[in-house]
Chain A
Amino acid sequence: NAGVTQTPKFRILKIGQSMTLQCAQDMNHNYMYWYRQDPGMGLKLIYYSVGAGITDKGEVPNGYNVSRSTTEDFPLRLELAAPSQTSVYFCASSTTGRGGETQYFGPGTRLLVL
C-alpha cells in the first residue's frame, strides 16, 4: 500500500492564481482531512469528508474548496491564491470507530504564494 499520497510536493503560485492540491489514499478509509501547518504552529483543519459526496468545513475553510467524488481521492482547490495561504498542506485519512481513529498523513505539499 502506498498509504496517503500528495502531489505536488512543492509549488510557487502568483497572487490570484488557482491550483488544485491532489490527495489520494489506497487504504479504503472513509474519512479524509485537509490541514495546513504554518511555521512553528500546529495543524489547522481546513476541510474534511466522511465519505464520497460528503464534505464539511473545518476551522479555516476560507479561500479553499474541496470535492470527494470517490473514496480514494480528496482534492483541495485554491481559487485565488493569497500570500496568507503560504503554508504546508497535509492530507490525512482515517477509518471508522474506536481504535480506527488514527490519522495517516501524506508527505505534504509546500506552497509559496508570491
Chain B
Amino acid sequence: QKEVEQNSGPLSVPEGAIASLNCTYSDRGSQSFFWYRQYSGKSPELIMSIYSNGDKEDGRFTAQLNKASQYVSLLIRDSQPSDSATYLCAVKIGGTSYGKLTFGQGTILTVHP
C-alpha cells in the first residue's frame, strides 16, 4: 500500500462546477496535511494546510480531514479554467519536528469552459 494515494485522474469538470480531489494516507500518526497546486512546467505552491479534523475554508477552496478514515480531500467551488493544474496531496509522516513530507502521485484537474 502506498503511503499517500490520490484518486486517479485526470479529472475534468465544467467551469463553475465543484471539483473534488481525494487523498488517503497509511500512517495513523500523521498530524499535518497539505494540498499543493502545480501548473505545468512550474514548481508546486501551497494552497491549503489542515491539521485538525473537519473542514477548513479559504476562498473557493475547502480542505476536509477525517483522521479516523485516514482521508483528506480538497473541494474547489466555482471551478475556473485557471484552476487547471496538477494537485498534490502531501502528508507529514511520523513524529518528526521538521517538515519531511510524503507526496501523492498527483491528480490532474482540467476545468473546461
Q: Is the CB of B51 within 8 A of A94?
A: no
* Complex contact A107–B42 (CB within 8 A): yes
The residue on A at minimum CB distance from B101 is A103
Give the size of the chain B interface in residues (CB under 8 angstroms). Answer: 23
> Which size bracket describes the interface of A in this complex?
20 to 34
* Prevailing SS type, chain A contact patch: loop
- Could you say which residues of chain A place their CB within 8 Å of the CB of B7? none
How many residue pairs link A and B with beta carbons under 8 A? The number is 59
Complex partner residue of B103 from A30, A42, A50, A107, CB under 8 angstroms: A42
Q: Which residues of A contact B (CB under 8 A)?
A: 30-31, 33, 35, 40-45, 48, 50, 58-59, 90, 94, 96-98, 100-103, 105-108
Which of B60-68, B71-79, B92-100 binds A? B92-100
Across the two chains, which residue of chain B brings its CB closest to A93?
B99
